[in-house]
């Protein structure tokens, strides 16, 4: 089968005859074959077996017909290498044995050793580079989102401990942002050297901040990460997570190619808030997938009609897939996006 690079061409702003589509969290529990693998192995155990992790990465490409693969891993995986002991607990998420609270906790964090501690991730990327016929997107969690797990110790709704450190001990906060920024830079650089074709930085929870606080406490590190990686030729995506519409006007100096939008903001309005400086990706509400197919198509059509008006647009969800997502409808949605966007572009 020939190589399908429509995702990369769209990221670069080249003319495409239909839209590329992939789904955040496209490898996962909505797929019965994935659930079968999970009966025998935990997420971390899958990640440590490169052949198996590569197989899980390829499953949605084969089943859904998407135009990109995303590495099967988790945003927490690299923190093992800087000295954090964590687990991914079923139906909870990341749980940290000893949360980061003090200057000593931060001082103890080590520099990341990708080739040493995370060689399984690099090996998985190498296998996928040989086997895939679509581009491989790799990813990292952004410093705020990772810090929220490291400080809270588990998923949080209020981010109270995270915000306490940020507002009360800014020196500590910025030293943590610096260390996590260094981690993300080294990790993604190694991914791209191993054969990754694009990367996305997930800042899933940073929409919890007001724009002025985002600008002060988080954005400098985001800008540094993208500027230090700017020499890489691969397309770069920043996803500022859920409820991030108010943050979009602050992103003008981030050297990313594409910004991911959540579902709360129309594509045209997202572009306007971004000052026309970026391509965009998104942004179907994932829970629309629970609706009948005609309702799903109606929502997708409205997004596509706006999306195709400018180059550099990638169809996706506004956040990740959820365990109850219906596989058959996802496959049909992918076909619909391909088919209808082709007509909309030709029109
Ligand atoms: O997108 C993909 O298909 C690639 C795999 C991927 C996983 N996690 C595997 C996973 C990706 C890209 C992630 C990113 C991730 N992990 C994010 C950012 C994306 C987002 O949704 O905002 C975040 C915040 C995490 C942290 C995390 N890991 C959470 C909140 C959970 C859910 C806990 C639960 O059980 O509901 C996880 C676990 C996790 N990571 C699962 C998967 C497939 C589900 C549990 C499992 O199958 O073991």
Instruction: For residue 153, count CB atoms less than 10 angstroms from its CB and return exposed for 0-12, middle for 13-18, buried for 19 or more.
Output: middle
According to DSSP, the β-strands at 86-89 and 93-96 are antiparallel
The two three-digit tokens of residue 318, written as one number: 């506004």
CB under 8 Å to 48, separation ≥6 — which residues? 120
Q: Look at ligand 1, atom 12, and give the residue with the nearest C-alpha.
A: 25
In angstroms, the CA 49 to CA 120 distance is 7
Task: Output the CA–CA distances (angstroms, integers) from residue 50 to 73, 119, 127, 169, in the order listed.
Answer: 11, 9, 8, 40
Distance 310 CA to ligand 1 centre (A): 31
Instruction: Name the residue among 289, 296, 340 with its Cα closest to residue 30.
Output: 289
Q: Look at ligand 1, atom 43, and give the residue with the nearest C-alpha.
A: 28
The answer to whether 190 touches 114, Cβ cutoff 8 Å, is yes
Q: Is 282 assigned to a binding site?
A: no
Q: Look at ligand 1, atom 24, and give the residue with the nearest C-alpha.
A: 204
Question: What CATH number was assigned to the domain covering residues 6-346?
Answer: 3.20.20.210
Distance 334 CA to ligand 1 centre (A): 21
ipTM over 0.85: yes
Per-residue pLDDT of the chain (347 residues; tens, 9 = 90+): 799 999 999 999 999 999 999 999 999 899 999 999 999 999 999 999 999 999 999 999 999 999 999 999 999 999 999 999 999 999 999 999 999 999 999 999 999 999 999 999 999 999 999 999 999 999 999 999 999 999 999 999 999 999 999 999 999 999 999 999 999 999 999 999 999 999 999 999 999 999 999 999 999 999 999 999 999 999 999 999 999 999 999 999 999 999 999 999 999 999 999 999 999 999 999 999 999 999 999 999 999 999 999 999 999 999 999 999 999 999 999 999 999 999 999 99
In angstroms, the CA 128 to CA 13 distance is 25
Q: Is 149 assigned to a binding site?
A: yes
> pLDDT tens digits for 209-224?
999 999 999 999 999 9
> pLDDT tens digits for 267-323?
999 999 999 999 999 999 999 999 999 999 999 999 999 999 999 999 999 999 999
In angstroms, the CA 68 to CA 54 distance is 14
Q: Is 28 assigned to a binding site?
A: yes
User: Which 3 state secondary structure label does DSSP give 172?
Assistant: helix
CB under 8 Å to 55, separation ≥6 — which residues? none
In angstroms, the CA 45 to CA 77 distance is 11
In angstroms, the CA 173 to CA 175 distance is 5
90 lines ligand 1 (CB under 6 A): yes
Distance 138 CA to ligand 1 centre (A): 13
- The minimum-distance atom of ligand 1 relative to the CA of 91 is 35
The per-residue DSSP string of 72-102 comes to S--TTGGGGGGT--EEEETTTEEEESS---S
């Amino acid at each position: 089968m020939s190589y399908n690079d429509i995702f990369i061409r769209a990221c670069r702003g080249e003319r495409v005859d239909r839209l590329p589509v992939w789904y955040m969290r496209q490898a996962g529990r909505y797929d019965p074959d994935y659930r079968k693998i999970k009966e025998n192995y935990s997420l971390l155990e899958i990640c440590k077996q490169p052949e198996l992790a590569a197989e899980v990465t390829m499953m949605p490409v084969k089943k859904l017909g998407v135009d990109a693969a995303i590495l099967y891993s988790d945003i927490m995986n690299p923190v093992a290498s800087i000295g954090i002991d964590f687990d991914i607990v079923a139906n909870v998420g990341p749980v940290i044995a000893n949360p980061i609270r003090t200057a000593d906790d931060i001082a103890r964090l080590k520099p990341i050793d990708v080739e040493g501690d995370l060689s399984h991730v690099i090996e998985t990327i190498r296998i996928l580079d040989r086997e895939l016929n679509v581009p491989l997107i790799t990813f990292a969690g952004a410093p705020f989102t990772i810090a929220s797990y490291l400080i809270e110790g588990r998923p949080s709704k209020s981010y109270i401990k995270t915000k306490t450190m940020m507002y009360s001990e800014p020196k500590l906060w910025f030293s943590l942002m610096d260390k996590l920024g260094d981690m993300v830079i080294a990790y993604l650089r190694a991914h791209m050297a191993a054969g990754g074709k694009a990367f996305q930085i997930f800042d899933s929870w940073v929409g919890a901040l007001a724009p002025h606080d985002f600008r002060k406490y988080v954005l400098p590190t985001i800008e540094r990460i993208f500027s230090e990686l700017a020499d890489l030729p691969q397309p770069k995506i920043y996803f500022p997570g859920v409820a991030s519409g108010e943050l979009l006007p602050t992103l003008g100096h981030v050297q990313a190619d594409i910004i991911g939008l959540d579902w709360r903001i129309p594509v045209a309005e997202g572009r306007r808030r971004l000052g026309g400086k970026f391509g965009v990706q998104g942004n179907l509400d994932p829970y629309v997938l629970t609706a009948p197919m005609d309702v799903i198509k109606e929502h997708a059509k409205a997004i596509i009609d706006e999306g195709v008006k400018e180059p550099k647009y990638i169809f996706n969800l506004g956040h990740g897939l959820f365990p109850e997502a219906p596989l058959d409808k996802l496959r049909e949605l992918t076909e619909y996006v391909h088919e209808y966007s082709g007509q909309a572009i030709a029109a």
